[in-house]
Amino acid sequence: MAAQTDTYTALVNQPLGQKIAAALGLPQPAVLRRYEPGQRLVEGSVLVLGDGHAADEAAAVLLDWDLDVRRQPSPSDRFSAVIACYDNVVAPGDLSATTLHLGSVQRQLGPSARVITVFRDPAGTDRPATRAARQGVEGMTRSLAHEMRRGGTANGIILGQDIALSAPGAVGALRFLLSARSAFVSGQFIPVGTDGGSRPADWERPLAGKVAVVTGAARGIGAAIAETLHRDGATIVGVDVPAAGEALAGVVNRLSGTALQLDITAPDAGRRILAHCAERHGRMDIVVHNAGITRDKKLANMDAARWDAVMAVNIESQLAMNREFLAASGQGVASDGLRIAALASTSGIAGNAGQTNYAASKAGVMGMVAATARLMAGVGIGGDEGGGTINAVAPGFIETEMTARIPLATREVGRRLNSLQQGGQPVDVAEAIAFLVSDAAGGTSGHTLRVCGQGLMGA
Ligand code: NAD
């Protein structure tokens, strides 16, 4: 599952290519640091800035992970990451000290460095000045993400009103954003709204003992998700259409999982998945709604077949299956702390010519996730520390068969027009999904996380 680098990125990372690109002012995408089992969480020192509780909590968590933590930088230090804590800001004037401090160490950051801001939910206050300050951190973080170089990223953790950075979900988000698992996530925020979830016994195998259903697992992003969840310890149930049966068998056999040939638009799809999990594995802990299709046409040329097929596969099937899963949760097969993740798309956020049907379905996924989170926090499923969660991931430009079909010139623009100046890999989406379905993300629900290198183009 080694991540591949596109030809241009490989070229500009050779000495001669680097010189030519620099001389011509061409983009110089870096080879991103990606996760490998056994890898160090970060290579070098981590600087913690800020003077509220969160900074002390961050330092304690990082020390617990045996990292080299600094609170006061010296000019000769080199950092792999900076955690900038703004949890105590009450007015815009409070932003400057920590922010300028952060700016003063920018040139001391190594390759694939991480900047992580920590602040409280802007919507959690009625005070205009406090909300302005908190929201100001968002704007600053997004701009800094555009300014990061050499594969570096900047992201934020948004803490709910009474949530400490030492809460399990906040610790999980911190670790994901620090790690190479978040290589293609930049300019994004992970809200931690509850103190649900738990720290895994083993951070290398956070899904040990879980049974995970992945739809559309025969190829592309779905196959990468199946491989990544398996690497993290889960037993895989791969679902795909009968026509993809051979490819599906190839994927699940490699992962010692089981295959279920099924069109997810079938009215009994949810029930058949539950029955398969009951019979073959005795449980179902994780569902990843990955299967999706495009049928692109400008709206003036759109026909009912294209519109209806995209809506049926991309959103209506997910709604129908979730109804079955929620009804069954806590009653045998579907675990009480069920974790659901769904594939949205940056098309559903920014829109894309020729994709009214696809964007409607993917924006629909984001809405579905937000509303279902509230259902899952209710009785039966969720509601306590073992509660269920549902989140979405919105990939931007990812190097797959789907994007390989885009005409070359458009594809090249799509690749370069983001802060990391390259397309993402299927594994980048898979890493975000693996995090969101883990118990370490138990404090986050109803959220859509973009995996797009801070670009908005892509299928
Ligand atoms: P893909 O076309 O390579 O794979 C999709 C898989 O889903 C296939 O194996 C297909 O057989 C299966 N599938 C389709 N309809 C099905 C059905 N009715 N029942 C069961 N299985 C079905 O696509 P991909 O590029 O790997 O994309 C995976 C997901 O990510 C999709 O939801 C897609 O919309 C989303 N996405 C992809 C990109 C990208 O850049 N590739 C960007 C944003 C979002």
- Please give the number of the atom of ligand 1 that sits closest to the Cα of 221: 26
Buried b (16+ CB within 10 A) or exposed e, 195-218: bbbbbbeeeeebbeebbbbbbbbb
Q: Tokens 């999982």 appear where?
A: 257
Domain with CATH 3.40.50.720 in the chain: 42-192, 211-451
Give CA–CA dist 427/180, Å, rounded. Answer: 11
Q: Is any ligand 1 atom within 6 A of the Cβ of residue 105? A: no
Residue nearest to atom 19 of ligand 1 (CA): 263
Taking the centre of ligand 1 as the mean of its atom positions, its distance from the CA of residue 293, in whole angstroms, is 5
Best residue among 215, 261, 397, 400 to mutate for probing ligand 1's pocket (most ligand atoms within 8 Å of CB) is 400
Taking the centre of ligand 1 as the mean of its atom positions, its distance from the CA of residue 245, in whole angstroms, is 15
Q: Is any ligand 1 atom within 6 A of the Cβ of residue 395? A: yes
Residue nearest to atom 40 of ligand 1 (CA): 398
Q: Is any ligand 1 atom within 6 A of the Cβ of residue 214? A: no
Largest pairwise CA distance in the chain? 64
Of the candidates 153, 189, 165, the residue with the CA atom closest to the CA atom of residue 62? 165
Taking the centre of ligand 1 as the mean of its atom positions, its distance from the CA of residue 220, in whole angstroms, is 7
Active site residues: 358
Taking the centre of ligand 1 as the mean of its atom positions, its distance from the CA of residue 436, in whole angstroms, is 19
Q: Is any ligand 1 atom within 6 A of the Cβ of residue 244? A: yes
**Please, which residues have CB within 8 angstroms of residue 10's CB and are 6 or more apart in sequence?**
31
Secondary structure class of 111 (helix, strand, coil): strand
pLDDT score of 112: 97
Give CA–CA dist 74/453, Å, rounded. Answer: 30
**DSSP assignments along 3-48, one per residue:** PP--HHHHHHTSHHHHHHHHHHT---PPPPP---TT--S-SSEEEE
Secondary structure class of 388 (helix, strand, coil): coil
Q: Is any ligand 1 atom within 6 A of the Cβ of residue 348? A: no
Taking the centre of ligand 1 as the mean of its atom positions, its distance from the CA of residue 248, in whole angstroms, is 13
Taking the centre of ligand 1 as the mean of its atom positions, its distance from the CA of residue 19, in whole angstroms, is 39
Q: Is any ligand 1 atom within 6 A of the Cβ of residue 221? A: yes
Q: What is the CATH number of domain 42-192?
A: 3.40.50.720
Q: Is any ligand 1 atom within 6 A of the Cβ of residue 398? A: yes
Q: Is any ligand 1 atom within 6 A of the Cβ of residue 67? A: no
pLDDT score of 21: 64
- Please give the number of the atom of ligand 1 that sits closest to the Cα of 247: 9
- Please give the number of the atom of ligand 1 that sits closest to the Cα of 343: 32
- Please give the number of the atom of ligand 1 that sits closest to the Cα of 248: 9
Q: Is any ligand 1 atom within 6 A of the Cβ of residue 31? A: no
Taking the centre of ligand 1 as the mean of its atom positions, its distance from the CA of residue 343, in whole angstroms, is 9
- One digit per residue, the tens of pLDDT, for the chain of length 459 reads 445 567 777 777 777 767 766 666 667 788 999 999 999 999 999 999 999 999 999 999 999 999 999 999 999 999 999 999 999 999 999 999 999 999 999 999 999 999 999 999 999 999 999 999 999 999 999 999 999 999 999 999 999 999 999 999 999 999 999 999 999 999 999 999 999 999 999 999 999 999 999 999 999 999 999 999 999 999 999 999 999 999 999 999 999 999 999 999 999 999 999 999 999 999 999 999 999 999 999 999 999 999 999 999 999 999 999 999 998 887 778 777 899 999 999 999 999 999 999 999 999 999 999 999 999 986 344 444 457 999 999 999 999 887 888 888 888 887 888 889 899 999 999 999 999 999 999 999 999 999 999 987 655
Q: Is any ligand 1 atom within 6 A of the Cβ of residue 291? A: yes
Burial (Cβ within 10 Å: 0-12, 13-18, ≥19) of residue 225: buried
Cα dist. 6→30, 181, 183, 413 in Å? 11, 19, 15, 13
Q: What is the CATH number of domain 211-451?
A: 3.40.50.720
41 CB-side CA count, 13 A? 20
Q: Is any ligand 1 atom within 6 A of the Cβ of residue 193? A: no
- Please give the number of the atom of ligand 1 that sits closest to the Cα of 395: 43
Q: Is any ligand 1 atom within 6 A of the Cβ of residue 223? A: no
Of the candidates 145, 189, 173, the residue with the CA atom closest to the CA atom of residue 420? 145
Give CA–CA dist 25/400, Å, rounded. Answer: 28
Residues forming a β-bridge with 82? 47, 115
Taking the centre of ligand 1 as the mean of its atom positions, its distance from the CA of residue 397, in whole angstroms, is 14
Residue nearest to atom 44 of ligand 1 (CA): 345
